């Protein structure tokens, strides 16, 4: 299976569905309360972001998902910057509604996506990136067991025009069993 192949991934906590236009209204509602997150890109209009992510999917660079919990869309996530010949990808462009932050949703979604990348698609590396100032995201990535590869200084411009330093992490295949066990233990503890 290719990293770009549409697939539904599901466990008792979350369902990751191939992103499509039917998710727009629910995702617009899920963005409420995220205005404070200047250091990340939360879509102003889900329909526009869905179109963008579907165009990236058509180009073979992204596999976008709607994050569904409790029967409703609560965020978006992707396998992105896909380099299929080298079996590398990034897990990113993730945002979640404040109603599910600090719940099992993010951990469960990461377990599904990493498992899919390593166990189904035979990835040799999965990167995770975040803004230097997004301490919540950095802490979550580190709790996953990802190792920091480095910091890309002045990596790109943010939505407000400020320069972003990007912290790059990765998980490698030999690390996946330990990362997987850690995620499963976190879910079991609640």
CB atoms within 10 A of CB 141: 23
* DSSP per position, 61-107: SEEEEEEEETTEEEEEEEEEEEEGGGTEEEEEEEEE-TTTTTSHHHH
How large is the average pLDDT for residues 124-153?
A: 93
pLDDT of residue 102: 85
User: Who's near 75: CB < 8 A, 6+ residues apart?
Assistant: 27, 30, 66, 67, 94, 95, 96, 97, 100, 105
pLDDT digit string (tens) for 75-108? 999 999 999 999 999 999 998 998 998 899 999 9
Q: Is the pLDDT of residue 138 over 80?
A: yes
pLDDT of residue 158: 80
Q: What φ, ψ does residue 137 adopt, rounded to 5°? A: -70, -40
User: Who's near 177: CB < 8 A, 6+ residues apart?
Assistant: none
> 161 falls in which pLDDT band (50, 70, 90)?
confident
Q: What φ, ψ does residue 15 adopt, rounded to 5°? A: -125, 125
pLDDT of residue 35: 64
Q: Comparing 1-5, 141-145, 175-179, which segment has the lowest mean pLDDT?
A: 141-145
pLDDT of residue 126: 98
CA gap 12, 33 in Å, rounded: 26
CA gap 104, 85 in Å, rounded: 33
Whole-model pTM? 0.92
> 46 falls in which pLDDT band (50, 70, 90)?
confident
How large is the average pLDDT for residues 23-42?
A: 76
pLDDT of residue 38: 56
């Amino acid at each position: 299976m290719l990293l770009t192949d549409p697939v539904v991934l599901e466990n008792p906590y979350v369902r990751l569905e191939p992103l499509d236009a039917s998710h727009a209204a629910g995702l617009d509602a899920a963005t409420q309360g995220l205005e404070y997150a200047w250091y990340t890109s939360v879509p102003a209009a889900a329909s526009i972001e869905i179109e963008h992510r579907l165009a990236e999917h058509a180009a073979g660079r992204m596999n976008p998902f709607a994050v569904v919990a409790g029967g409703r869309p609560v965020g978006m996530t992707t396998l992105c910057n896909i380099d299929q010949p080298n079996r590398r990808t990034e897990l990113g462009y993730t945002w979640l509604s404040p109603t599910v932050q600090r719940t099992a949703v993010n951990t469960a979604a990461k377990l599904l996506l990493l498992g899919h990348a390593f166990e189904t698609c035979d990835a040799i590396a999965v990167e995770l990136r975040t803004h230097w100032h997004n301490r919540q995201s950095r802490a979550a990535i580190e709790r996953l067991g990802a190792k920091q590869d480095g910091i890309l200084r002045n990596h790109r411009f943010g939505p407000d025009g400020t320069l972003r330093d990007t912290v790059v992490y990765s998980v490698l295949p030999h690390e996946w069993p330990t990362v997987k066990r850690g995620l499963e233990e976190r879910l079991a503890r609640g």
